[in-house]
Amino acid sequence: MIRRMATDARGATNPIPQFPAGFLWGVSTSAHQIEGAAHTREASVWDAFTAEPGRVKDGSTAAVACDHYHRYREDVALLADLGVDAYRFSISWPRVNSPGGLDFYDRLVDELVAAGVRPVPTLFHWDLPVSLDWLDRDTAARFAEHVSVVADRLGDRVNKWITLNEPAEHTLLGHALGAHAPGKQLLFDALPVAHHQLLAHGLAVRALRAAGATDIGIANSHGPTWPASEEAADVEAAEFYDVLLNRLFSDPLLLGEYPAGLGELMPGDVESDLKVISEPLDFYGINYYAPTRVGAPEGTDIEFGGLTIPAELPFSVRQIEEVPVTDFGWPVVPEGLTELLTGFRDRYGDRLPPVVITENGCSYEGLDDQDRIAYLDGHIRALHKAVEAGVDVRGYFVWSLLDNFEWAEGYARRFGLVHVDFADPATLARTPKASYGWFQELLRTQR
């Protein structure tokens, strides 16, 4: 059921500059956050995690979520009406493992193609089958098998693929700090999880190439790291954080090596693995939300952005003051996107393939979401500045099409261009927000 908000939402009087011809405009979602119909697939680590009391702040689960599994035609109609070129969604590994699971993605891809929307699937977006563990090297091989099955079924209609979503967050939040599934608190003993995900990515690239795919990338999260001051201790802490959350996941892919000192901490034959990890990419996906201000450790646990940063870590995360924040408390710093992209260009040079912004978005309440419009306007302009500076950017995907299950936050955070009425599970009515109309108009001006 779709309800429409009356709004013209025609955007700023100062038009956003034109992007190059062929630039790909889209929106993103993920399977666990929107599909629901949990009873029709095998369990994931997120099902197990949310079943434990206290893991999700509002006590909710994604058993129903947006019920996209049953309402996908309604959601594809929203995509077509919005006017996007492409839809980035994820394919649930637990669903693929279940009888008839791939049939759903067959139907979804057919519906997208019929609507003139390019399907861009992500093959892993955190919902690992509960029987597997990223601490186990064999999970990388199992992932490559999963990818081959999916590519064999969908490859005749899908021509752009993303292997993994945000292995940094899945490592840090799920395995180091325990804030996300599977809820492990291993701190630096979680490093093998990073390596095995990167290895899984490389094996997936090979599997996709073997299936004939020619447009393959990854969706890594990145943001500038700003030292809290010019003091040596703050600068050193910021450099360490930048290595851990940025370069640990980009250097192996783009340079074929780990940052100094980290390779020796990884399991297995790292030199051979890096040859797999660094398989050439057709594009490099970046999820951008905000910079991070980092200082020396303060000797105590720090509560930041809903996380507890343990005192024993060799850095502390500080507030970025004098900038707006989203309803999630995340700083709004559009210029950080320009800084990030030009920094990537300078660091990696011709080793950096064309870039696609695979996620960018914000959490705000309300249907007349002018703050979201301002956020998107600012970040798209910042992206255009990076293009003007010579960064080869080929696309931009808003997070997200729908309000959804926001992981450990439950349904308390609304990232969607479309409001979902979770209070009425009988309808889960979709209502396009003002930002939907604004983005729709922007897409018209970019044609």
- At residue 3, the pLDDT reads 60
Find, among 6, 40, 84, 47, the residue nearest to 439 by Cα. Answer: 84
Find, among 87, 157, 73, the residue nearest to 120 by Cα. Answer: 87
C-beta of residue 42 within 8 angstroms of C-beta of residue 129: yes
C-beta of residue 92 within 8 angstroms of C-beta of residue 127: yes
**Is 111 annotated as catalytic?**
no
Q: Is 440 labelled a binding residue?
A: no
DSSP letter assigned to residue 229: S
* Per-residue burial over 214-227, b = 16 or more CB atoms within 10 Å of its CB, e = otherwise: eebbbbbbbbbbbb
Q: Is 436 labelled a binding residue?
A: no
CA–CA gap between residue 285 and residue 281 (Å, rounded): 10
Q: Is 370 labelled a binding residue?
A: no
Given the residues 42, 166, 279, 339, the one annotated as active site: 166
pTM for this structure? 0.97
- At residue 6, the pLDDT reads 43
180: Cβ–Cβ under 8 A, 6 or more apart, which residues?
49, 126, 169, 170, 173, 174, 407, 408
Phi, psi of 402 (to 5 degrees): -120, 145
pLDDT in tens, 343-372: 999 999 999 999 999 999 999 999 999 999
Check pLDDT > 80 for residue 13: no
Scan for tokens 């509560």, then name that residue. Answer: 303
pLDDT in tens, 260-269: 999 999 999 9
Q: Is 185 labelled a binding residue?
A: no
- At residue 305, the pLDDT reads 75
Read off the pLDDT of each residue in 411-431 and give the average, rounded to a whole number. Answer: 97
Residues 191, 193, 196, 202: is their CA dihedral positive or negative? negative
Check pLDDT > 60 for residue 5: no
C-beta of residue 144 within 8 angstroms of C-beta of residue 210: no
**Helix pair 434-445, 370-388: axis angle to 10 deg:** 30
Q: Is 125 labelled a binding residue?
A: yes
pLDDT in tens, 315-345: 999 999 999 999 999 999 999 999 999 999 9
- At residue 4, the pLDDT reads 55
Check pLDDT > 50 for residue 125: yes
Confidence of residue 58 (pLDDT cuts 50, 70, 90): very high
- At residue 9, the pLDDT reads 38
- At residue 11, the pLDDT reads 44
Check pLDDT > 80 for residue 7: no
- At residue 308, the pLDDT reads 87
CA–CA gap between residue 62 and residue 428 (Å, rounded): 13
Q: Is 236 labelled a binding residue?
A: no
Q: Is 438 labelled a binding residue?
A: no
**Is 365 annotated as catalytic?**
no
Concatenate the DSSP letters of all residues of 355-420 into one string: EEEEE------SSS-HHHHHHHHHHHHHHHHHHHTT--EEEEEEE-SB----GGGTTS----SEEE
Q: Structural domain boundaries of the chain? A: 24-445
Residue bearing the bigger pLDDT, 14 or 239: 239
- At residue 8, the pLDDT reads 42
Amino acid at residue number 141? A
Angle at 57 between CA 54 and CA 58, to 5 degrees: 105
Q: Which CATH number fits domain 24-445: 3.60.9.10, 3.40.50.300, 3.20.20.80, 3.40.190.10?
A: 3.20.20.80
- At residue 1, the pLDDT reads 65
- At residue 10, the pLDDT reads 42
Phi, psi of 88 (to 5 degrees): -95, 115
**133: helix, strand or coil:** coil
Check pLDDT > 80 for residue 2: no
DSSP letter assigned to residue 259: S
CA–CA gap between residue 171 and residue 356 (Å, rounded): 22
CA–CA gap between residue 167 and residue 245 (Å, rounded): 10
Structure tokens at 212: 């004939």
Check pLDDT > 60 for residue 30: yes
